[in-house]
Structure 1
Amino acid sequence: MTFGIVFLVLIIDQLVKIWIKTNFAFNDPSVPLIGDWFHLNFVENQGMAFGTQLGGGMWGKLTLSIFRVIAIGAIIYYILKQIKKPEVKLEFLIVSGLVLAGAAGNLFDSMFYDFIFRDYFDPCISYNQIEGSGIYAECTYYGYSEMVEVRHRGFLFGNVVDMFQFRMTWPSWIPWLGGSEVFPAIWNVADFAISCGVILVLLRQKIYFPKEQEKEKEA
């Protein structure tokens, strides 16, 4: 059941990403999905969930990808241990599966998308450029050519595809936040799965870890 959920989320995540990658181009206008507050907006990033990065350059990206591999291995090991416990709740296993699926979905992009979408690489697009890489490509802007530094490509270096964006702003009467975007990040199905899993663990930890809660009370 748990790994069935993982597989399902992974399939949905990758189908959406592949559809976006093959039907949208950089700088295409966003497409409203629900009113004017929820849009489809294709971007790529070199980081993790919601575009968060772990340092910059080749080593930052490589470190992030290796961290993902280790984290996924640890989560799988943890889930397998929990499955053997008779008292474990199915809901908790499913929630853990959501986190695993999300992490694996974004890792898949970094591992294989530079090979799957080899012909889609455009060195003149901002998310494919990175200072200090030492790898140069020629770009032409308005008839003027220049050499730009582009990111490393290959296994563990691929960009993550994002597409969903909330277009909501805080009411102007709210101090400090008024007029700013409620949630500016652009995200994908994998990010959503990770967020749901983490939030549920935080909200329902007393149910998922009853023994730990009892030990704290006794102490």
Structure 2
Amino acid sequence: MKYRHVVLIVILILVIDQALKFWIKTHMFMQQEFIIFPNWFRIHFIENEGMAYGLKFGGDFGKILLTTFRLVAVVVGFFYMKKLVREKYSNGLLICGSLILAGAAGNLIDSMFYGIIFNDSIGYEVAKFLPAGGGYGSFLHGRVVDMLYFPIYEGYLPKWVPFKGGDYFVFFRPVFNIADAAISTGVIAILLFQKRFFGRHLEVKEVKEVKADQAV
């Protein structure tokens, strides 16, 4: 796998992620939703100030810090992926790394620019792209657009369930986006297959070192 393949994967994920977010922003108002598959999949428009799956971090200063950290991480990530390609790590690891890098870049674009290029979604108003009166925020103060919602189970838990018995429960509650999904998929796959990804590379490296010693 070559470095250009990494770049192509990142671009593909970014295009899908940003196209869906752009459509959501310009066609839906806040909290509006469309039911795709009854009882388990909906398009539900929300925005969040912070990390993946709606988590928050440190108010206004935290927002700037988080966005700056994302920017640095994305830049460093491209250089690191180039290093992995040069050292011939497995295609599986490179694909996972590309997914994580694409997801980080996707949410970074929201945080950096969406406050400038979109006005706010208030009430039943749909946001406009490049509004005459300016956007809802400044550079680095954009909100991340989320829309994928999978409430696979909704209902009251049985009384015998510890601590939460009798409470109304939703699984899976977080609303997320394509970028979040790419990051999660990449991280989970690396955790599950780390021995295969890294072990095979170490074996190849050891074989090369042995051959080099024998040649000497």
Same fold (TM over 0.5): yes
- Which residue is equivalent to 1:132? none
- Which residue is equivalent to 2:181? 192
- Which residue is equivalent to 1:71? 73
2:61 aligned residue (59, 62, 70): 59
Q: Following TM superposition, by how much is the alpha carbon of 1:169 offset from its aligned partner in structure 2, in angstroms?
A: 2.6
- Which residue is equivalent to 2:92? 91
1:205 aligned residue (179, 187, 194): 194
Task: Indicate how the Cα distance of structure 1 residues 165 and 122 shifts in structure 2: closer, same or farther if over 3 A, else same.
Answer: closer
Task: Indicate how the Cα distance of structure 1 residues 183 and 165 shifts in structure 2: closer, same or farther if over 3 A, else same.
Answer: same
Which 5+ residue runs of structure 2 have no aligned equivalent? 125-135, 204-216
- Alpha-carbon distance in structure 2 between the residues aligned to 1:19 and 1:59: 29
Checking the alignment, whether the CA contact within 8 Å between 1:54 and 1:63 is kept in structure 2 is no
In the alignment, residue 121 of structure 1 is paired with which amino acid?
Answer: D
1:159 aligned residue (143, 146, 163): 143
What TM-score do the two structures reach when normalised by structure 1?
Answer: 0.76
Task: Determine what percentage of the aligned residue pairs are the same residue.
Answer: 40
More helix by share: 2
Q: Following TM superposition, by how much is the alpha carbon of 1:211 offset from its aligned partner in structure 2, in angstroms?
A: 6.7
Which 5+ residue runs of structure 1 have no aligned equivalent? 126-151, 215-219
Task: Indicate how the Cα distance of structure 1 residues 46 and 211 shifts in structure 2: closer, same or farther if over 3 A, else same.
Answer: same
- Alpha-carbon distance in structure 2 between the residues aligned to 1:4 and 1:190: 15
Tell me which stretches of 4 or more aligned residues in structure 1 moved more than 6 Å: 211-214
- Which residue is equivalent to 1:131? none
**Partner SS, residue 181 of structure 1:** strand
Q: Following TM superposition, by how much is the alpha carbon of 1:170 offset from its aligned partner in structure 2, in angstroms?
A: 6.8
Larger Rg: 2
**Partner SS, residue 180 of structure 1:** strand
1:41 aligned residue (41, 44, 47): 44
What TM-score do the two structures reach when normalised by structure 2?
Answer: 0.77
Q: Which deviates the most, 188-197 or 66-75?
A: 66-75
In the alignment, residue 61 of structure 1 is paired with which amino acid?
Answer: K
1:175 aligned residue (146, 151, 161): 161
- Alpha-carbon distance in structure 2 between the residues aligned to 1:156 and 1:185: 24
- Alpha-carbon distance in structure 1 between the residues aligned to 2:101 and 2:112: 16
Aligned residues: 183
- Alpha-carbon distance in structure 1 between the residues aligned to 2:92 and 2:7: 13
- Alpha-carbon distance in structure 2 between the residues aligned to 1:170 and 1:42: 19
Checking the alignment, whether the CA contact within 8 Å between 2:29 and 2:121 is kept in structure 1 is no
**Partner SS, residue 44 of structure 1:** strand
Checking the alignment, whether the CA contact within 8 Å between 1:62 and 1:156 is kept in structure 2 is yes
- Which residue is equivalent to 2:13? 9
Matches within 5 A, 1:60-139: 60-86=62-88, 88-117=89-118, 120-121=119-120
Task: Indicate how the Cα distance of structure 1 residues 16 and 36 shifts in structure 2: closer, same or farther if over 3 A, else same.
Answer: same
Cα deviation, 1:75-116, whole Å, max 9, x if unaligned, reads 212111111013x11121111000000000000011111222
- Alpha-carbon distance in structure 2 between the residues aligned to 1:101 and 1:77: 14
Q: Following TM superposition, by how much is the alpha carbon of 1:124 offset from its aligned partner in structure 2, in angstroms?
A: 7.9
- Alpha-carbon distance in structure 1 between the residues aligned to 2:63 and 2:123: 20
